[in-house]
Chains A and B, each alone.
Chain A
Amino acid sequence: MMKKYFEELVSGIETKLQEDPENKSPRKAFALEIAKIGTRLYSDTNQKCWCGIATPFDLLSAMGVTSCFVEFVGGMLASTETAGNFIETAEHAGFPSDACGYHRAVMGAAFDGIMPAPDFLIGTTCPCSGGLAVVENLSRHFKKDLFVLNIPQQASEEGVRYLTNQIRQMVKFISDHTGEPLDENRLRDTIKLTNQTRQLMNEMYRLAQQVPSPANGHLMGNLGIVLPLVFGTKAGVEICQIFKDTFASHVKEKISGVPDEKLRILWIQNRIQFKNPIVEMMEKEYGASIVSDELNTVTWDPIDPEDPYPGMARRAISFPLNGPINVRIKHLQKLAQEYNIDGAVNPCNWGCRQGTGARGMIANGLKEVGVPVLNLEVDCVDSRNFSEGQLRTRVEAFIEMLS
């Protein structure tokens, strides 16, 4: 099912691009590459690895392994309106509805044979306990070896050293499973591409900060969380280049992402992954443009191609959802100021202890910089209890208050 979905997505986008090669929109380029990753994950010829979110995907790419974080599958199933069946499967297997919807969907998909068996797995302790547990459960289900990266909470000297050592061991673990040693030259080239992507991300995000913003909720959705999957690849550079060029052109021509931009919104953490009218309603009916998502950001320095592991370690530790909440709040405050944010929306994903857990502190932190926050009660993956009318009313009231 998913294999067919990804193949049709790739061919559909490629056909459109062949018909109109000049119209390669940023989102199309992004979707095409993600769909290609999907086809590789579901093919029988690639080495595959299911991962935690903080995995250095560029390193796996340099070692010829197609890798993806498991929550991606949960989001994908939700976007295709199929997550509900798999969530029910997981619940029947004993995973309660109090757990994260992403993880329930992934486990159900694995039980129902929708998740391709990986060659091995890499779990990460960041961002959440549940994410690590689901990778452990997948390891048990598929009877495949698991490696765990413990992501320290802070970028202390000891913390960076600890994670750097683990990454070195991870390379050995991967080599042992692929039968191929790491090609140092290939890794060096990969890191150079990662750094190029990073640079372009910085530039495109800076352009998105302009008033009016060339960005909108559709363009920016899930971008920062998914882009690491193409780090270290030419495709990653190309996607960000198209984003940057498109934004630059729109800024120059004063084309805003949402016509007649009236309000600028920051979206916190999760998008609601299944079809819903909230973003479109905000933008079309109220001119409230989602100009940034919390994870649309660059929090790390360029990585040294000659000695990349410490840089990769620092990058993982700098993930905004890692560490004490005051780090995350400062990050959100910085985004709010850089993007001239009027208000923030926090869809408190039911079952997310690490992100949603701190909602009161996040709201207080953004209030300090004059940004009100709307906390929504929603499961971002499980649409079975989605109450559209209730959410619409709350969002409308919030927007009217901002206006």
Chain B
Amino acid sequence: MNNKSRLIGFTCAYTPLAIIKAAGYIPYRVLPVGEAPDLAGSLLHDNLCPHVKRVLDRAFAKDFPDLAGMVFVNSCDSMRRLADAWQIVRPDEQVIRLDLPATVDDDSVFFFAKEIETFANTLSDMNGQPLGQEQIRSAIVLYDELSATMKRLKAVTNSGANIGGRSAIQKFYNRASTEPVEHLIEELKQIIEEPKSTKLDGEYVPVFLFGNVLPDPEAFSFFESCGALIVEDDLCTGSRLFNSTEMDLDWAKDIFIQLARNILSQPPCARTFDPKNPDKMVQDLLYKAKRCKAKGVIGYTLKFCDPYLARLPAVREAFRKAGVPLLLLEGDCTLRSIGQHQTRIEAFIEMMG
């Protein structure tokens, strides 16, 4: 076990980052980026999602820093298999599994709270330091501040200020997933407060982007080159990770239950749903698209992603009925795969322009 590293790896937007921070570690998202050789197929079937395979390729290639441990959320079948494979590829890193319910009710919150508590205790044991409620609360406040700051940055961008386009925001998301966030928050605040004199050149159609994994900042530049300005997103490598509803912490109540409820109440990815209202995901997407005044919506999902594959037909139908233009793209996290859709994206934007 490598005890020198201060990094705890993660891959899922449901990861309770505040716990990692509170335990004295830095959350480090292993993003599916880079050019690691394709080796995942030696352990996993090729029909697993490219997110999982590319993250495992990176693990094989050792192209990220040593980790003290790696936490996997039981978000989908592919992620479970990644956790299994990780133990083989990086046996010196402690693998921690968080069992995340697919539906949200009081029992689920209680169960997930226990999962988070066990996670906290595991990190505390690894670190050899006790982990108190005060540290956890401070970390929660810090991540709330990060979420709020990211929202303000997006608001500034959407008001017309040029901070480098939407790709700049994605760079900040990626940094916030892999670096200590204290300095980043200060940096973001400075950017927000600096006077902006320039606006993005050209005419853009405001678009709402939803889906799962799209960490490459160049992908957003590419959308802009097609005439689409992504004014809001619902991606697990974007706003979903830093979009926690601000926690009104009750100091008299169990912190783990509050955190569990908060995480389970965040904007869900397709794997979490409300059995009493199976259309909730669709309704949420329509609501967000209207709220950000998007003229159209692009859905970008990964090939072989079962939670989205199964739900996209309902999404398509609901958008058709609502009269909201929708373009669905499938890819493999890479800019290359999005580039193949250039003609379709341009035609979609022209149609709305």
Contact = CB atoms under 8 A, between A and B. Distances in A.
Nearest to B84: A325
A93 B74 CA distance: 29
B311 interface: yes
B316 to A, nearest CB: 6
A148 B313 CA distance: 21
Interface in B298-316: 303-304, 306-307, 309-314, 316
B181 interface: no
Contact of A96 (B43, B103, B309): B309
B18 to A, nearest CB: 21
Nearest to B83: A324
Given A130-B310, A356-B45, A169 B278 contact: no
A281 interface: no
Given A153-B97, A324-B97, A351-B47, A146 B278 contact: yes
Interface stretch (B107-115, B191-199, B342-350): B107-115
A353 B103 contact: no
Nearest to B113: A158
A162 B44 contact: no
Nearest to A355: B77
B303 A98 contact: yes
Contacts of A150: 101-103, 108, 111
A300 interface: no
Interface residues of B, number: 48
B207 to A, nearest CB: 21
B275 interface: yes
B312 A128 contact: no
Interface string B79-117: 011011101100000000101011100011011001100
Contacts of A130: 77, 306, 309-310
A140 B316 contact: no
B43 A123 contact: no
Contacts of A152: 99, 111
A361 B107 contact: no
Given A166-B107, A353-B76, A353-B306, A94 B81 contact: no
A133 B311 contact: yes
B103 A148 contact: yes
Contacts of B110: 162
B42 interface: yes
Interface string B119-149: 0000000000000000000000000000000
B316 A94 contact: yes
B48 A353 contact: yes
B310 A357 contact: no
A359 B42 CA distance: 9
Contact of A361 (B49, B84, B114, B312): B84
Interface in B256-284: 270-271, 273, 275-276, 278-279
Interface residues of A, number: 50
A100 B310 CA distance: 10
A126 B48 CA distance: 18
Given A324-B97, A353-B77, A361-B43, A95 B310 contact: yes
Given A133-B306, A139-B278, A150-B102, A162 B107 contact: yes
A174 to B, nearest CB: 14
Contacts of B278: 136-137, 139-140, 146
Contact of B306 (A129, A325, A326, A360): A129
Contacts of A325: 80-81, 84
A334 B345 CA distance: 53
Interface string B25-47: 00000000000000001111101
B78 interface: yes
A13 B152 CA distance: 70
A333 to B, nearest CB: 15
B114 A158 contact: yes
Contact of A98 (B41, B47, B99): B47
Given A162-B107, A354-B77, A359 B45 contact: yes
Nearest to B44: A357
A358 interface: yes
B101 A98 contact: no
Contacts of A398: none
B107 A95 contact: no
B102 A148 contact: yes
Interface string A245-277: 000000000000000000000000000000000
Interface in A130-163: 130, 132-134, 136-137, 139-140, 145-148, 150, 152-154, 158-159, 162
Contact of B99 (A103, A159, A166, A350): A159
A96 B310 CA distance: 9
Interface in A23-59: none
Nearest to A124: B102
B76 A129 contact: yes
Contact of B47 (A147, A162, A353): A353
Contacts of A353: 45, 47-49, 76-78, 81, 304, 306
Interface in B49-89: 49, 74, 76-78, 80-81, 83-85, 87-88
Nearest to B103: A148
A354 B273 CA distance: 20
B307 A129 contact: yes
A139 B40 CA distance: 36
A130 B316 CA distance: 18
B131 to A, nearest CB: 19
A139 B103 CA distance: 15
A66 B88 CA distance: 43
A96 B102 CA distance: 23
B17 to A, nearest CB: 21
10 contacts: A100-B306, A129-B77, A133-B309, A137-B278, A324-B83, A353-B306, A357-B48, A358-B44, A360-B85, A361-B84
Interface of A: 93-96, 98-100, 103, 123, 125, 128-130, 132-134, 136-137, 139-140, 145-148, 150, 152-154, 158-159, 162, 165-166, 169, 324-326, 348, 350-354, 356-361, 364
Given A133-B307, A325-B84, A353-B77, 15 more contacts: A99-B310, A130-B310, A137-B278, A140-B279, A169-B107, A325-B80, A325-B81, A326-B84, A326-B87, A353-B76, A353-B78, A353-B306, A357-B44, A359-B45, A364-B43
Which 10 pairs, one residue from A and one from B, show the smallest C-beta to C-beta distance? A133-B310, A94-B313, A354-B77, A325-B84, A353-B77, A360-B43, A357-B81, A162-B111, A146-B275, A130-B306
